[in-house]
Structure 1
């Protein structure tokens, strides 16, 4: 009972591992104290139990979502497994492990993913797709695996926005604002304006501008032709346009529009028991996530926990904290 309570304090109250022996902590609990070494041992055993529980529910078809995060001086890679089970999509964190900073090539990424899957008794033979940023390294990683890459749509939009921002950045100068007023009443703010403005004003401004963005989003490529090379389904930045097109059709309940070429692309997702003239595909095809925002949210949440005061933590301890705090399976163990 004591170890469970102390683990929960470290994970969910963002307390250091030595908090279990602190006088203040002990004054608020009647449970028997345990030392930090014992606490780490129990956390390691709990991690192994959660890994076994995850390995037991992984099906024969799955995908992997991953992204990188620089924490202090270590480059961590968050790896999620994406699969369909019990009529719903599951995204389970497999690991947040450091990547060798001396070699961050695509070959290193391939070896990293292979090693993570091996921990759970899986092999790349069952891997059907990757979800990640559209950078050259991740694209080459998908190519080396021989599977399609679902490039993060948020990353593509961010690249397009930065492209437009380089043009609009000059409008912050007083001499250029006259031309801008001819097209819109909105004016860009200087970089130091938001630093001193209230949070309420920032939220109001974002709400005001985002409402307009949602209206014109579908016509963005028409209004801003420069974004076409990032946002179009067949843009050069898209790694697997032949895969994303049938996925969009299946997700939109337009399976009858699939061409023979697109049906061939979806063959790895066909159900073995399908007897229809048009082979049925796994439900995961219609539920594949279009973005890797789940990784970004994980990093944002973990930054609140991994403060500079915890910079001396070993990478393995950081991984245990993030892994157990993130996975709902941890609540059952």
Structure 2
């Protein structure tokens, strides 16, 4: 495995340009924060985004997590294994959070806001008015995943409950879609579930949110399809 790592790093290092960009993505699990660092550069074959590092970041003695920690964590990544100098990084791509902003200042490079993060913020604003109904559905779905209730449900349908993940806004619509698919198999007479079942009014609001999400996804798909068709036409004209 170590030999394979060295071989892959060597190949990426040869392909990677002397001038490059870095893209950051973070994930927190419990008390640990993980930082993924991707290299960004262009070759004759197209854009490349190899994963350079994925490692946990340990907070300092005071329990603080700030930009100096990730800076020290990935500062040597381009040099060690890839043969590149961090000073040749042209800009960072990441969420517009305080840590990343300070990190960019420490490195003396611009911070390009992540489009995915901006989209998540927009979706978060859209979902906030429906948070009460979403929490009700989430509580019910969690209960349905308990061993006894999951066994009962399995006897009625092969469908499995889906949970909502805070970092994946698409899961909000997935949990609503699955909830409405499972409704006919959920008995209102079940004492373990009766107090968790959303009211008819809450169901109407959740249904409206689900339909709105499906329409947005459909319109987005048409927009992307049109962009792709436009690109193909341009290529053919050239």
> TM-score scaled to structure 2, two decimals?
0.56
Stretch moving more, 192-201 or 98-107: 192-201
In 1, are the aligned partners of 2:21 and 2:89 still within 8 Å (CA)? yes
* Other-structure match for 2:77: 116
Aligned with residue 107 of structure 1, among 62, 68, 87: 68
Residue 107 of structure 1 deviates from its aligned partner by 2.1
Alignment of 1:269-280 (within 5 A): none
In 1, are the aligned partners of 2:78 and 2:84 still within 8 Å (CA)? yes
Residue 215 of structure 1 deviates from its aligned partner by 6.7
Stretch moving more, 78-87 or 118-127: 118-127
Distance 1:105 1:73, change over 3 A: closer
Aligned with residue 65 of structure 1, among 13, 16, 23: 23
Helix, strand or coil: the match of 1:59?
A: coil
Q: Deviations over 1:211-269 (max 9, x none)?
A: 4224777xxxxxxxxxxxxxxxxxxxxxxxxxxxxxxxxxx99xxxxxxxxxxxxxxxx
For this pair of structures, how many residues does the alignment match? 162
Helix, strand or coil: the match of 1:56?
A: helix
Q: Which runs of 5+ in 2 are unaligned?
A: 145-152, 154-158, 161-173, 182-206, 221-229, 232-238
Higher strand content, 1 or 2: 2
Greater RCO (Cα-Cα under 8 Å, separation 6 or more)? 1
1-structure distance, mates of 2:137, 2:5: 47
In 2, are the aligned partners of 1:65 and 1:131 still within 8 Å (CA)? yes
Residue 93 of structure 1 deviates from its aligned partner by 0.9
Residue 202 of structure 1 deviates from its aligned partner by 2.5
> TM-score scaled to structure 1, two decimals?
0.41
In 2, are the aligned partners of 1:194 and 1:202 still within 8 Å (CA)? no
Residue 88 of structure 1 deviates from its aligned partner by 0.1
Distance 1:152 1:202, change over 3 A: farther
2-structure distance, mates of 1:169, 1:72: 23
In 2, are the aligned partners of 1:130 and 1:149 still within 8 Å (CA)? yes
Helix, strand or coil: the match of 1:191?
A: helix
Residue 80 of structure 1 deviates from its aligned partner by 0.8
2-structure distance, mates of 1:188, 1:70: 21
2-structure distance, mates of 1:190, 1:158: 21
In 1, are the aligned partners of 2:26 and 2:34 still within 8 Å (CA)? yes
Alignment of 1:122-201 (within 5 A): 122-170=84-132, 172=133, 190-195=137-142, 196=144, 198=159, 201=177
Q: Which runs of 5+ in 1 are unaligned?
A: 1-42, 173-186, 218-251, 254-333
Distance 1:207 1:191, change over 3 A: closer
Alignment of 1:258-269 (within 5 A): none
* RMSD between superposed Cα atoms in Å: 3.4
Distance 1:212 1:193, change over 3 A: farther
Residue 208 of structure 1 deviates from its aligned partner by 4.4
1-structure distance, mates of 2:127, 2:212: 15
Residue 45 of structure 1 deviates from its aligned partner by 2.2
